[in-house]
Amino acid sequence: MKKELTRQQYLDLYYYMRLNRAVEDTMVKLFRQNKIVGGLYSSLGQEAISVGSAYALEKKDWLAPMIRNIGALLVKGVPPRDVFMQHMAKYDSPTKGKDGTSHFGDLENLHIVSPISMLGDLIPVMAGVAMAGRYLGQKIVTMTWIGDGGSSTGVFHEGLNFAATQKAPFVLILENNLWAYSTPVKRQVPIENLADRAKAYGISSYIVDGNDVVAVYCTTKEAVERARAGEGPILIEAKSFRRLGHAQHDPAEYVPKEMRAYWEGRDPIELYEKFLMGEKLLDAKGKKAVEEKINTLLDREREFAENSPMPPPEFASTGVYCTGDDCHKIQPRWERPIAEVTPPKSSVKAVWTVEGFGSGKSSGGANAPIHFGDTKNTIEIPASNGKVPGKNGAKPRGKKPVKVGAAGTTGKVKR
């Protein structure tokens, strides 16, 4: 951890990590009191990832959390009562009791896209949001998270490839917490660093200690600035450990005791407290003040949530489909002249020039082969005198085709 932030930034990171854990501890109590109607998914030991990465965004930027990214919601400005009520399915919750977990967002003010249960699907969605922001001239960056298991889904690769080809200003945080439910990462993936998957799409990547909140913040801040500057999407692998089971019903007995003990000794909040104390940024009095502030806040927020009514039965059929005046109205927020993206200024010639391909140059006469590509990997296609081989009885002319490979491909490949 390096002393590169302002004192307030250091203390903000500490506050949000402590708030993240306290919110989840409160929800565990509510769950055991049978007041939470849905599943409960803990981020114990991973708070530094959600908090540090979300803190690197600007207010205008967009994020899409997953179920363990409550810390990111808190950093973005979601009040704890909304998190409580959402899990308790209360009428005053963001979804009016329509959901019992964390499936809610705020498109208008906080720029939060609701989680999608199908892992990986948020990647193309947030790539699209990033492209829309660029089109409107907003200069935004978008962000979402994925786990090590979710990085093996098809849409992870499809979405990342799409973002890469479009150079979308998008940052993906890959939380390698070593377990996809009960499957260890070594049994999922044949590589040591999941960040290496970025190479397949020609984009940059970072590897960061997910239990070091300052490292997470600084790394993400750099990635966000690069994405905003037009360098395209960036992948960050944050290595950490999920210290509780997949959800409250999972005791995680499959985790070796030695592994659990090691990571419990690397608790991100305890590590950060030692750093702050060592740098004279926090003392016992300041720590107590933070604890009292959080306890006072959560007592008030929990009381509000518990006193919120359950949704009336007749409300069950409303708000499900977007019809008439019930729809939210989303209008584009232009921050550039519309003329720039409308004809005639936006018109371009319908010509797609790809370097090293499609030239079709031939210097050996009508019967010579046509060369495509570069000189190191040239494919020779026999000349057909203007006729397509095998069509309407036309036969190839010029060099005799040579079979290459088990599939019997015609043509000669030079390497």
pLDDT in tens, the chain (415 residues): 454 899 999 999 999 999 999 999 999 999 999 999 888 888 889 999 999 999 999 999 999 999 899 999 999 999 999 999 999 999 999 999 888 888 999 998 999 999 998 998 999 999 999 999 999 999 999 999 999 999 999 999 999 999 999 999 999 999 998 888 888 888 888 899 999 999 999 999 999 999 999 999 999 999 999 999 999 999 999 999 988 777 778 787 888 899 888 889 999 999 999 999 999 999 999 999 999 999 999 999 999 999 999 999 988 888 777 776 656 677 889 999 999 888 888 877 777 776 666 555 544 555 555 444 444 444 444 444 444 434 444 343 444 433 333 333 333 333 3
Answer whether residue 72 is part of any domain: yes
Same domain, 112 and 153: yes
Pairwise CA distance, residues 179 & 185, whole Å: 6
Four-residue CA torsion sign, 136, 140, 145, 150: positive
Which SS3 state, helix, strand or coil, does residue 159 take? Answer: helix
Token pair of 239, please? Answer: 């290595």
Do 191 and 311 lie in one domain? The reply is yes
Answer yes or no: do 41 and 89 share one domain. yes
Which CATH number do you get for residue 66?
A: 3.40.50.970
- 123 with 344: CB under 8 angstroms? no
Residue 341 lies in a domain: no
Specify if 259 maps to a domain: yes
Does residue 402 share a domain with residue 269? no
Determine the pLDDT at residue 409.
36
Q: Does some domain include residue 338?
A: no
Say yes or no: 37 and 74 in one domain: yes
| Alpha-carbon span 280 to 273, nearest angstrom | 10
pLDDT at 259: 87
For residue 336, is it within any domain?
no
Same domain, 358 and 304: no
Q: Where are the alpha helices (DSSP H) in 200-242?
A: 213-226
What's the CA gap between 3 and 105, in Å, rounded? 34
Q: Which domain holds residue 384?
A: 349-415
Catalytic annotation, residues: 242, 246, 254
Instruction: Specify whether 31 is located in the same domain as 164.
Output: yes
What's the confidence (pLDDT) of residue 78? 96
Q: 265 and 318 share a domain?
A: yes
Q: Is the pTM here over 0.85, yes or no?
A: no
Count the neighbouring beta carbons within 10 Å of the beta carbon of residue 293: 13
At 309 the three-state DSSP class reads coil
In a domain, 228, yes or no: yes
Number of domains in the chain: 2
302 in the same domain as 360: no
In a domain, 55, yes or no: yes
- Identify whether 224 is part of a domain: yes
Instruction: Assess whether 240 and 366 both reside in one domain.
Output: no
**Would you state the structure tokens that stand for residue 36, as one six-digit string?**
């939470």
The reply to whether 365 and 231 lie within a common domain is: no
Q: Which two tokens stand for residue 338?
A: 């519309």
Residues 248, 287, single domain; the answer is yes
In the sheet with 378-381, reading across from the earlier edge strand, the strands are 370-372, 378-381, 412-414
Task: Report the SS3 class of residue 399.
Answer: coil
